[in-house]
Amino acid sequence: MIRIQYQPNLSQMPPDLSDDAWSNLAWHDDFTVPGPGRADLAQVVSPSTAFAMAHDEQMLLIAVKCGAVPGGAPDDLEHERVHIMFDAEGEGRRAAKFIGNSDGAVSATACNEGGADDRWPGDVGFDARIGKEQWTAVLKVPLRQLHHGGEAAGRPRINVARLVAVPEYWLCFPRMPGTKFWEPHHAIGEAVFERPELLAAFAWDVRCPARARLMQDGGATVCRQQVRATNLSTQTREVELRAAFRQPGRDPVGHTRRRVRMEPGASHVEVLDLPVPEPFNYGFVGVDLHEPDSGRHESENRFLVEADPLSWKPHFIRRGDGRGGCTCDAAQMQLMPLYEGRLIAPYGLAAMGDGRIVCVGIAWGTDQDQPEQALVTLSDDEGATWGEYIALPGIHCRPVMLAYLGRGVVTFEAGDTTERFRMFSHDYGRTWDERINVPPAPTGQPLGFEGNPLVERDSDGNAVSLVQIGQTLEGAAPHWKINEYVRWSRDGGRTWPRVVRPEPWHTTETYAGETYDVGASEGSLVRAANGDLVAALRTFSPTWFAEHPYYQDSLEGTAVSISKDDGATWSPMQTVFESGRHHANLVRLPDDDLVMTVIRRVDFHGNRLAGYRRGCDAVVSHDHGATWDVEHLIVIDDFPYCRGGFWIDGQCGHLCSELLSDGSILTGYGNYLAGGVLVRWRP
């Protein structure tokens, strides 16, 4: 365990490490070459390398001594650097990365799990000195820049690495298993602050709930930035929030001060409107928290603002012309931000009026045993910009069947059959304060879901009926036994008094002397203009593929079934896509055409692989779902992928679509290589 020693006179200690006070610190010199090493390093005598850590209740100090390589050239030290990782929370999710060169240059980055880098909250100090036999450096990081909340507060994890210049190789503390660094997970050395109670003043978390927006006000550009401050301490605290717009080489402008009082664990969101000087390329909204009476600086952060924000960018969809070619139409695309370095898959979109949209999804699990995390994000401009992800504590299911019920109520179901529940928000998706259990199928088996529900509304837009498709699952591939159900709720999903099992959705099929249960699994619903209920169903993989060594659900298809008596009876399933396209979502347009969006995991036609492109497609019905215009298939987005000969690996999945106020459609899907993709397009 490495002690971060308390030294009240740090500011008086000389940066060249010459004072006797430096010798009183605990120095750690057990540096090793990571991994098995190289043969040429076996003959090299490793230079002396050591570091020490201390704090003075305002500043964290990390001092490093780097001795010269025996027999090396005099100027070799001029080309060296140190990498310092500091995970203040000790949880392996995020860490500070400081890279300091022997010439005194330094960079500071916030690293998230999965390799995503972010801005560092403020400035750090780095003083480097080169001598004949060694070079030394002192890194100074204000404690207010570090995150001191959580159960591991005061017990960070660290890694200190030195890049020796000639011959070039790494020396690390603590010992590393390999030469490749996994940020921030190579911060594995355990440390502890002396006098941890002195860190309590910095128990704040300052973030931006949403990206900044640039607006015009009387010919001037204004930056509107939401800022959320959270009190991580166990005491009620009063703080002065100070903010300004900052640009490199310019004085800050728009100085703002607000006094805020917060209970333990409480958060406060402040909306700041700050002037933006011209010309403008990029800048920062700087936010600082100060103790009102003493003026003590307790927290700081800064949020990047760019003249060209990450929002809609030009895109195009391809519409089949029925002759093997296509035409292109303009569309817009954006990628969903990562969540703590993890890719996102959207599972539901719901419009709530006045441009407000709620999106639910997941951050994929990681190799470090982090489960999928259910997330919510909100937009008030029909998807152009989105707020910060709201992580639902303890909810690790896939959120499906999202529905806006009116009066600010939003709901979704758990997509995991191992735990059945429904979540409710009563404030347009900002908080989720209600969780109820949901009933199983009539057989007592748990129901699984994916797709979009049918929400029928009164003249005020409030839900009067919720209808959705679910399935039970037994057996194992390829001998699945799946039963489909349609169920109705008239109280927003709390009770389901009516349940129907459509017989045409389940049958058997014999291939090569083997009989298989075939039919459908998940499904989506829409009410056609003629009153019919139209269901888009995910169908089983073709029976000829059942014994193929690559058998998996990526080759499942899509079919449609129609009810003309409000769900009492259903037509036989009509195949739209035999295989490779599924996760259907249904939207009814203002002109009463129906649009079906589907994931294309495998581009399959006529029992053969037709192409390597994966992605998201759409087809239109002009006759209330009776037929679908596959010849004029719309490619919403796609990308090439084939992992060697394993052509079945689709690398995309899960989909949602919502009609916008101007008649365009917002479609989201999970691209397993790029993350969540959003496309705004017109059918």
Per DSSP, the three-state class of 194 is: coil
Which residues on neighbouring strands pair with residue 129, listed in sequence order? Answer: 136
Q: Is residue 369 part of a domain?
A: no
Other residues' Cβ atoms within 10 Å of the Cβ of residue 249: 4
Q: How confident is the model at residue 368 (pLDDT cuts 50, 70, 90)?
A: low
- Cα angle 631, 555, 533 (rounded to 5 degrees) comes to 60
Q: What was the pLDDT predicted at 369? A: 66
User: Do residues 616 and 504 both lie within one domain?
Assistant: yes
Q: Is residue 173 part of a domain?
A: yes
User: Do residues 150 and 221 both lie within one domain?
Assistant: no
Q: Is residue 380 part of a domain?
A: no
Q: Is residue 462 part of a domain?
A: yes
User: Do residues 191 and 322 both lie within one domain?
Assistant: no
Q: What was the pLDDT predicted at 114? A: 65
Q: What was the pLDDT predicted at 44? A: 60
User: Do residues 25 and 137 both lie within one domain?
Assistant: yes
For the whole prediction, is pTM greater than 0.85? no
Q: Is residue 343 part of a domain?
A: no
Total number of domains constituting the chain:
3
From 178, 200, 222, give the residue that closes a domain. 200
Q: Using one digit for the tens of pLDDT, what is the confidence trace for 271-317?
A: 999 999 988 899 999 999 999 999 999 999 999 999 987 889 999 99
User: Do residues 469 and 519 both lie within one domain?
Assistant: yes
Q: Which of 149, 140, 157 is nearest to 90 (CA)?
A: 157
Per DSSP, the three-state class of 109 is: strand
* CATH number (domain holding residue 185): 2.60.40.1190
User: Do residues 194 and 255 both lie within one domain?
Assistant: no
The 10 Å CB-count burial string (b at 16+, else e) for 164-188 is: bbeeebbbbbbebeeeebbbbbbbb
Alpha-carbon distance of 421 to 413, in angstroms, equals 6
Alpha-carbon distance of 548 to 607, in angstroms, equals 13
User: Do residues 637 and 618 both lie within one domain?
Assistant: yes
Q: Quick one: how far is CA 512 from the chain centroid?
A: 45
Q: Is residue 188 part of a domain?
A: yes
Q: Quick one: how far is CA 92 from the chain centroid?
A: 17
Q: What was the pLDDT predicted at 11? A: 77
User: Do residues 87 and 137 both lie within one domain?
Assistant: yes
Q: Using one digit for the tens of pLDDT, what is the confidence trace for 506-519?
A: 999 999 999 988 99
Q: Are the C-beta atoms of 398 and 415 separated by less than 8 Å? A: yes
User: Do residues 152 and 216 both lie within one domain?
Assistant: no
Alpha-carbon distance of 415 to 522, in angstroms, equals 11
Question: In whole angstroms, how far apart are CA 15 and each of 7, 124, 208?
Answer: 15, 14, 35
User: Do residues 159 and 274 both lie within one domain?
Assistant: no
Domain range holding 544?
316-333+431-670
* CATH number (domain holding residue 285): 2.60.40.10
User: Do residues 107 and 239 both lie within one domain?
Assistant: no
Q: Are the C-beta atoms of 220 and 192 separated by less than 8 Å? A: no
Mean pLDDT estimate for the chain? 92
Q: What was the pLDDT predicted at 479? A: 78
Alpha-carbon distance of 45 to 447, in angstroms, equals 65
Q: Is residue 383 part of a domain?
A: no
Q: Are the C-beta atoms of 652 and 660 separated by less than 8 Å? A: no
* Tokens of residue 664, six digits: 């365009």
User: Do residues 627 and 528 both lie within one domain?
Assistant: yes
Instruction: Give the rounded percent of residues in the chain with a pLDDT score beyond 90.
Output: 75
